[in-house]
Amino acid sequence: MISKRRDAGLVTRRPRPFTVLADSTKDREGWLAARQQGLGASETSALFGANAFVSPYSLYALKRGEVEPQPDNPAMAWGRKLERVVGETFAEETGRRVWSHPLAGRLLRSRKYPWLLATPDFEQRDPQLQTDGLLEVKTTNERFAEDWADGAPLAYQIQVQQQFLVSGRLYGSVAVLIGGQDFRYVHVKRNDAFLKTLVKKTQRFWQMIQDGTPPAIDASESTIATLKQMREEKTVISLPPDVLRWHDQMLAAAERRKVAEDEEKEAKREISALMGLASRGLLPEGKGMYKFETKKGYDVKAHTVAPSRQLKFSIRTDV
């Protein structure tokens, strides 16, 4: 079973490698607002292309405040309700002691890497290691069972690694309840080589957020949904400096198109004048033919649009 409290562990570690930003158990709205101050452990996987629900662009827009966080769906709400059940099952299956994280529900921020955040679920004790570790618990639909065939999905592995970095822990586990009856767990060790990459990648991304430089827009469902939400909310954003190149190119193309259209109209007028009342005009050397076609008239409620003659070019000369 899960212990209610424990004196050892993160609650008494000194010096703590983190600070506490907010407590979701007392003020969830404040906790959600505090998440804007960094990248949560469950969000970082988006930067590695491992998050099926969040793209880098969607994460950028969220952290910039350009879109509002999506409300919890039933699966997320039930997941929180079942956290304790999954944690207790892990303790029974492994024989390890599991207790509610001393700072469960609190949003932790790394002192060394202040743009990195984490909210661990539980702590555990491996008797062989004689040190405390973390336990992350999940629930999912049975249609995602295949994702767990070779261990925890990459997104959850990345989440736990960031939790290690923020909390200072060296090992942990991910436990999952699939479809309400299939329980599994995977042990995870801290990977310092990967964490160096995580720090560099997240630091660059966080700087992009501060500078207002968005990542590339991709065709993922997440990005499309974010763009749709931004349009519906009539969001106003500051575009990055690179947009000026495309802006100038668009204006230049529009000017070239206007000049080309004027030249085309002038040429048609001259050809029409040369043709006079003729319906067809053959170009020299069999290069084609111009002909007048009559565009049919039609009625539009209160008035009628009369038929009109339009000059068309054809490479065929036998029609």
pTM (predicted TM-score): 0.70
- Domain shared by 249 and 281, yes or no: no
- Domain shared by 287 and 265, yes or no: no
- Domain shared by 115 and 127, yes or no: yes
Domain extent for 119: 2-232
Question: How far is the C-alpha of 14 from the C-alpha of 228, rounded, in Å?
Answer: 47
Strands lying side by side in the sheet with 289-295 = 280-282, 289-295, 308-314
Return the amino acid letter for 182: D
- Domain shared by 304 and 252, yes or no: no
- Domain shared by 310 and 166, yes or no: no
Backbone angles phi, psi at 133, to 5 degrees: -130, -175
Give the start-end residues of each E strand in 162-288. 171-178, 182-189, 280-282
pLDDT given at position 236: 73
- 3-class DSSP state for residue 180? coil
- Domain shared by 265 and 282, yes or no: no
User: Per the structure, how many domains does the chain have?
Assistant: 3
The first and second tokens of residue 64, run together, are 């910039």
For each of the chain's 319 residues, which pLDDT tens digit applies? 676 554 444 544 458 899 998 877 677 788 788 889 999 999 999 999 999 899 999 999 999 999 888 777 888 888 888 999 999 999 999 999 998 766 667 899 999 999 999 999 999 998 888 889 999 999 999 999 999 999 999 999 999 999 999 999 999 999 999 999 999 999 999 999 999 999 999 999 999 999 999 998 888 999 999 988 888 877 776 777 878 888 899 899 999 999 999 999 999 889 888 888 888 888 888 888 888 877 776 666 666 666 666 656 565 556 5
Question: How far is the C-alpha of 180 from the C-alpha of 85, rounded, in Å?
Answer: 11
- Domain shared by 109 and 192, yes or no: yes
